[in-house]
Chains A and B, each alone.
Chain A
């Protein structure tokens, strides 16, 4: 079974701190990786995507991919209370676009 593993949390950080969210995956054929944010009762909203090994930065967010270690992470700098949500790690590994999601990590940013 091709899985995506995430620590369910909650991960609690103070406002202004860096939040670090981690994810491992089992399918070595995975080509594209996505971080979605999901507020309670809402749909997933794309935060970052990454295809290549290394870091990718977009504003306060940095995604890191290490295909050799089958590891993806998301760093959120200057965390805000509005960042409090569940962060879903996912990957697409087939030509059909099927996404496999982890269970999500709940982030709490305390003012």
Chain B
């Protein structure tokens, strides 16, 4: 069964460093998303992406964040200068259409020291 994959599963970084989180969405899906979940809190929307453009972003998704689909399979989230409060689980998701079911990847646990 097709699934969303994410790498790395865990990432530890120093405050101020750049990190890139990678995702491979399900192959026939056209809509891609990033969410994050701080430990003990709810899942929060970061950004949606369609046709090589951001279609919506949340207030969390400020200038330190960017997304890219560098090739036909990968979808990346870059955090330019990490802060302590960026420590969270980051989930990638994809769907065929915007209001259809979103399938989540296993997540990347990011720890900023």
Mark A residues whose CB is within 8 Å of B: 31-32, 34, 36, 42-46, 49, 51, 88, 90, 92, 94-104
Asked if A43 and B101 make an inter-chain contact with CB atoms under 8 angstroms apart, the answer reads no
B95 at the interface (CB under 8 A from A): yes
Measured CB to CB, the nearest residue on chain A to B58 is: A98
Q: Nearest Cβ distance between residue A61 and chain B, in whole angstroms?
A: 14
B31 at the interface (CB under 8 A from A): yes
Measured CB to CB, the nearest residue on chain B to A90 is: B43
Report B-chain residues with C-beta under 8 Å of the C-beta of A45. 104
Query: CA of A103 to CA of B55 in the docked complex: distance in angstroms?
Result: 25
17 contacts between A and B (CB under 8 A): A36-B104, A42-B106, A43-B91, A43-B105, A88-B42, A92-B98, A95-B55, A96-B55, A97-B31, A97-B97, A97-B98, A97-B100, A98-B45, A98-B56, A99-B102, A101-B43, A102-B42
- Interface of chain B residues 66 through 96 with chain A (CB within 8 A): 91, 95
7 tightest A-B CB contacts, nearest first: A97-B98, A96-B56, A96-B55, A101-B43, A43-B104, A96-B48, A103-B42
Measured CB to CB, the nearest residue on chain B to A30 is: B99
Contact of B50 among A49, A96, A103 (CB under 8 A): A96
Report A-chain residues with C-beta under 8 Å of the C-beta of B95. 97
Q: Nearest Cβ distance between residue A96 and chain B, in whole angstroms?
A: 4
Asked if A44 and B48 make an inter-chain contact with CB atoms under 8 angstroms apart, the answer reads no
Report A-chain residues with C-beta under 8 Å of the C-beta of B44. 101
Query: CA of A44 to CA of B106 in the docked complex: distance in angstroms?
Result: 8
Asked if B48 and A97 make an inter-chain contact with CB atoms under 8 angstroms apart, the answer reads yes
Asked if B45 and A100 make an inter-chain contact with CB atoms under 8 angstroms apart, the answer reads yes
